[in-house]
Amino acid sequence: MCRRCCISKTEDCSYDKLLLRWKKRPAKTVPECPPQLSIERTLNSTHLAVNERRAVEYFKARLWPLFSTLHKPVPPPVALAMRSQPVLQALCVFAEEHRALQERGSSKQTMDRRRLHCLSTIRGQLSSEHCENASLSALLVAVLLLYFLEGYVNCMSGDASTRCHLAGAIAIINAMGGFQSAWSISDRITRMLLSELASTDLTDALLQDREPSFPPTIWEHMEPGSVWWESIPGTKSLGSVLSTLSEMSIYHHRLQNGIEICVDKVQAFERALQPTYSMLASPHRDAEQDLFHPVATASLSLVRCFQHAGLIYLYSAIQNIPVNHFLLQQHVHACLECIQGMDTRSRAQNCTLFPLYVAGAHSLLEAHRNCVVSTLETIHKNLRFESVLSVRETLLVLWEPSRSPTTWSGSFKNSAICTLVI
């Protein structure tokens, strides 16, 4: 029965008395079908809702390149997300919340619900009796993504849960047999995230005056290509610098517990952190030219600025040298010079927040402080992370004229406690 007969309540409908004209465009009286947000599209032959597909593409293109300084980065965990619902949810939440920092109109309640749903899914799988190593590895990636989300993107929020996610990640790692065991059974993607976890935990331990969650020996087993930093053959690795920083953090904790300072130990730390300008042992000209490649130059500068930051920690935290001492100030100047000399297009400069934070907190000259603020602005334009704003806000408080120079612990402890920096 046609629409006209329905209206006129006529039972018999004769189509031969009425000529139907079909048009490509619908009549004005016919309402158009509303767009369906739940429509599914495929990504790598996997069906995803439109909002999920959009979030995955955003994560791949905008966020994942920020996780490392590698010239040829490790592929993003998209394939894993297609197999693991917790990873997909964590990845989407990360992408949507980072995008929300740039776009207006995003509902905080909606994002909170999605985050809680993701956490609920993770907890449900962790409580399962059949949670094997493969499942734990996927859940570890999901928790690490939430950890970085809170520490990088949401760290200035009053309900940031960076510490909770760190505790969750450590619990999963322990269930896998410890850091070294988790590393050995993980793929390159998970290893890269583990190297970033260990790095952010170490810098947080140094700043918050606590022991790192992982032993210094873990850095010896992190091979090039599976870590977030670029490794240049024939030069000092950033991993060896981080290992020394870890040893110093533990030593400082022991000093606080009453052991006497050992001059030989301090000098050993000092020698290990002396900034080096290594040349390649290889006689090949092509290898030497690689040192002058922009990526290599920035990577070497990154290692040196971490060495300078480590020496500032040694003098300020362990030896209690006053902030205005020339020995300390020369490393503040050298550290900022290394960072300022980096190509602003380099990914390496994005990973100088820890050295910048340390040098900035110990800087006394207006020129040094202006350099720190300018560099932070550049990094924030690249990252759009709240962690950069958190560092800037903390430094501005430390630089207030009413504040007098203080100790390492007085500068950093209990400040920006949910903020992650590398």
- The answer to whether 96 touches 106, Cβ cutoff 8 Å, is yes
Residue 368, domain member (yes or no): yes
Q: Which two tokens stand for residue 189?
A: 């993607």
* pLDDT in the model for residue 45: 53
Q: Which range marks the domain in which residue 292 is found?
A: 254-422
In a domain, 370, yes or no: yes
| Residue 208 belongs to a domain | no
pLDDT digits (tens, 9 = 90+) for 133-146: 779 999 999 999 99
Give just the sign of the alpha carbon dihedral 312, 316, 317, 320: positive
Tally of structural domains, the chain: 1
Closest to 316 in 3D by CA, of 278, 363, 349 = 363
pTM of the model: 0.87
pLDDT, position 32: 45
- The two tokens of residue 324 are 């205005």
The residue whose two tokens read 């290692």 is 303
Report angle CA 373, 377, 381 to the nearest 5 degrees. 170
Q: Is residue 240 part of a domain?
A: no
- Cα 217 to Cα 146: distance, rounded to the nearest angstrom: 26
Contact 69, 299 (CB under 8 A): yes
Residue numbers in the chain where pLDDT is lower than 70: 1-46, 105-106, 129-130, 278-292
CA distance 268 to 282: 28
Give yes or no for a contact between 391 and 416, defined as CB atoms under 8 angstroms apart: yes
Say what the pLDDT of residue 284 is.
46
Question: Would you give the distance in Å from CA 116 to the centre of its chain?
Answer: 21
In angstroms, the CA 310 to CA 302 distance is 12
How far is it, in rounded angstroms, from Cα 218 to Cα 198? 9
Is the residue at 136 inside a domain? no
C-alpha 217, offset from chain centre: 22
Identify whether the C-beta of residue 338 lies closer than 8 Å to the C-beta of residue 304.
yes
Is position 31 within any domain?
no
- What tens digit of pLDDT does each residue of 337-390 get? 999 999 887 899 999 999 999 999 999 999 999 999 999 999 999 999 999 999
Q: Is residue 306 part of a domain?
A: yes
How far apart (Å, rounded) are the C-alpha atoms in residues 340 and 325?
A: 23
> How far apart are the C-alpha atoms of 89 and 83, rounded to whole Å?
11
CB 180 within 8 A of CB 216: no
Q: For residue 329, is it within any domain? A: yes
